[in-house]
Amino acid sequence: MASTNTAATGDPGSAAPAAAAAGVLVILGASGDLTKRLLLPALYNLACDGLLPQDFTVVGMARRQLDTASFRAAQRDDIRRFHTRRAFEPEPWAWLESRLHYVTGAFDDATAYARLREEIERVTAGTAAAGNTVIYLAISPEFFGTVNDMLDATGFTRRAGTTRIVVEKPFGRDLASATALNRALLARWQEEQIYRIDHYLGKETVQNLLAFRMANAMFAPLWHTRHIDHVQISATETVGVETRGEYYERTGVLRDMLQNHLMQMLAYICMEPPATLDPTAVRDAKSNLLAAVRVPAPGDVAAMSVRGQYGAGRRADGTPAIRYRDEPQVSPDSATPTYAALELAIDNERWAGTPIYLRSGKALWKRGTEIVVQFREGAGPGRTIGGEPNLMIFHIQPYQGVEIRMQAKHPGPSFALARAGMRFDYADTFEASRGTGYEVLLHGALDGDPTLFTRTDFVEQSWRIMQPILDVWESSPPGTLPDEAPFPNYTAGTWGPLEAQTLLARTGRHWHEVINREVLVRSPFFADAPPTLLNMLALSFQPLAVDPGTVVVRAGDVTGDLYVVCRGSLEAVDPSGRRLGTIDEGQCFGEMAVLQDRPRAATVRALAPCDLLVLPADDFRRVIADFPDAERRFREIAASRM
């Protein structure tokens, strides 16, 4: 980025950030949610960290009848709820509050814009803030067109000094509307004045993808289809649509998450490394990458995509969750997808032959955004001694870090391999305060640094890739594409539709559910486990989703894997067909085969769609050898079954 490029040129000592350029931030829609939940808390964080200039001022405008005093009073209350500091610091707030101003006005009323101009001129007169204006559209996209025209008609596009316009997502709802919006904006502003926001670019861990690609030469030769088997980019949420049913019904997951946030991460991970941190070089590299992503042919959409919608189930905390179609302001026969998984191909020299999988959904088992890069298996001796492909995992949130999963020799006289991990953990490495992600974006907009904002060509390329999928999905009701179940097709609180597993299983691959310690300790079974055991389990557990009726283990088999039930229930049946009992969420099964070194005594069959965690037999044996307490626990469970 322009303001911090000394760090990138090899002088990390001089990376201390400077305050943003003097300026005025004009917020249109200042009485709304975005302002109080994100923009003001971000400005407050910047103020606390000394990153706002002395000559800084905010002028808000919205329809709500407020004056500067009542606007300040409302924000004063809200900041105490929405700030992200460990403790509230009154002084920087008082400083920021004294710089807030408000004008009441409707977005289609020219006189309102005249009052806004007067107020801006009045509060910036004689200060360095005059001449650097950032206009933030914190408004519903239906007003974008009107506001754009009004800003031009009332002279904002022709003010002295620099003026920039910040546009929030959603940017269009398809290729045609995004292109039309771009045209409308470009008719009034120059490209370098238009700052399109994608809040994922404000996340430290997403920006770190750029650092990773540019500053760690040891990985550069590996970043090629020769070495990388495939890439998985997942952003899963446990929340449903909550109060946003009306917006979500019109939007769906493809528009809400994949077209923007996931494509941004894809671009950073797969682009050709730019030669410099110059904003044009970075944005060129990202756009070039999207231009190389194959636009799916309509006839291929069914095979490369999976859509889903959640049915009734449970939240992560165990309380009941309603189905999407029963959410407020959602149609009872809604066809809006709340889950999507895609397989994309990149037609360039670096990535030909390396599929890229994207997935995102609401009401899932776990909240987490991760990028997993799976390396190809070696042909050498590693295979013969039980080696596995290496993984590199970029943990974007909530856990933040980068991890390499590798093989190591397990301690002991025999030469056995075990999974091991190398981790860079943000919380252990940096002393940074928790932000909203908007700090760096506001700082960049005031400074005129567009690196973290989306350019016209990127947004259009991204819609071009999504458009055939949107078209096929919208013209074929859910359940009518080949091998597709009607909606709802996944239970709230699970790992999503089973078809998403099949998408990868076709080529012998599987999703890596990154099971971190926080997730494991949710199960009462692991709540008191020591950290070393949790680390080992987190590296070893593999997810397995099964349909009702699926036999998971069969009486007489000589397998020793251990299973933990995360969702659903199963029945155990003896070889004569007698039912021995059911196994429910939070319970485990399969431990006896290893503990007593004997074949499976019972058949276990799923009664409902189940999400299981599987601990492969070798890892299970190792747990028992290394953790006597865990063994005792398993023996107690086994005894209670007898």
What's the min distance (Å) between Cβ of 260 and ligand BG6?
7
Tell me how far CA of residue 208 lies from CA of 396, 429, 472, in angstroms: 9, 13, 35
Q: How far is the CB of 91 from ligand BG6 (least distance, A)?
A: 29
Nearest distance, CB of residue 270 and ligand BG6, angstroms:
20
Phi, psi dihedrals of residue 215, rounded to the nearest 5°: -115, 5
Question: 61 or 452: whose CB is closer to ligand BG6?
Answer: 452
CB closer to ligand BG6 out of 514 and 562: 514
Minimum separation from the CB atom of position 251 to ligand BG6 (A):
8
Helix (H) or strand (E) holding 232: strand 228-236
> Two tokens at 33?
């949610």
| Nearest in space to 416 (alpha carbons), one of 617, 214, 126 | 617
Q: Which candidate in 261, 395, 443, 512 is catalytic?
A: 261
CA end-to-end span of the chain:
64
Q: How far is the CB of 256 from ligand BG6 (least distance, A)?
A: 5
Using CA atoms, how far residue 617 sits from 64, 255, 420, 592, in Å, is: 64, 42, 17, 11
CB of 277 to ligand BG6, least distance (A): 24
Q: List Cβ neighbours of 297 (8 Å cut-off, separation of 6 or more).
A: 468
CA quadruple 502, 503, 506, 512: dihedral, nearest 10: -80
Sequential DSSP letters for 335-399: ---SEEEEEE-B-STTTTT--EEEEEESSBS--EEEEEEEEPPPSSHHHHTT----EEEEEEESS
Rounded CA gap, 31 and 64, in Å?
Answer: 7
Least Å distance between CB 463 and ligand BG6? 16
Residues that bind ligand BG6 (CB under 6 A): 237, 256, 369
Q: Is 283 helix (H, G, I), strand (E, B) or coil?
A: helix
CB-nearer residue toward ligand BG6: 244 or 633:
244
Between 38 and 150, name the residue whose CB sits nearer to ligand BG6: 38
**CB-based contact 2:451 (threshold 8 Å):** yes
Nearest-approach distance from CB 245 to ligand BG6, in angstroms: 12
Our answer to whether residue 510 is catalytic in this structure is: no
| Nearest approach, Cβ of residue 45 and ligand BG6 (Å) | 16
* Residue whose pair of structure tokens reads 């302002």 in the numeric block: 35
The encoded tokens of residue 225 equal 């289809």
Nearer to ligand BG6, 45 or 603 (CB): 45
Distance CA 11, CA 603 (A): 63
Query: How near is the Cβ of 36 to ligand BG6 at its closest, in Å?
Result: 17
Pairing of strands 356-361, 588-589: unpaired
C-beta of 304 vs 316, nearer to ligand BG6: 316
> Nearer Cβ to ligand BG6, position 252 or 311?
252
Check the CA dihedral 414-420-422-425 and report its sign.
negative
Cβ proximity to ligand BG6, 23 vs 41, nearer residue? 41
Closest chain position to ligand BG6 (CB): 256
Rounded CA separation 293/307 (Å): 20
Coil, helix or strand for 527? coil
* Upstream peptide bond of 488 is cis (omega within 30 degrees of 0): yes
Residues 6+ apart with CB under 8 A from 134: 23, 24, 25, 26, 163, 164, 165, 166, 195, 442, 445, 446
Is the CB of 95 or the CB of 247 nearer to ligand BG6?
247
Nearer to ligand BG6, 92 or 361 (CB): 361
Q: What is the DSSP letter of 46?
A: H
Strand order in the sheet with 401-409: 305-308, 339-344, 356-361, 228-236, 368-375, 391-397, 401-409, 417-425
449 three-state secondary structure? coil
Q: And the tokens for 253?
A: 């997951």
Report the distance separating Cα 628 and Cα 626, nearest Å. 6
- 610 SS3 class: strand
CB 259 → ligand BG6: shortest distance, Å? 10
Nearer to ligand BG6, 242 or 528 (CB): 242
Catalytic positions, please? 261
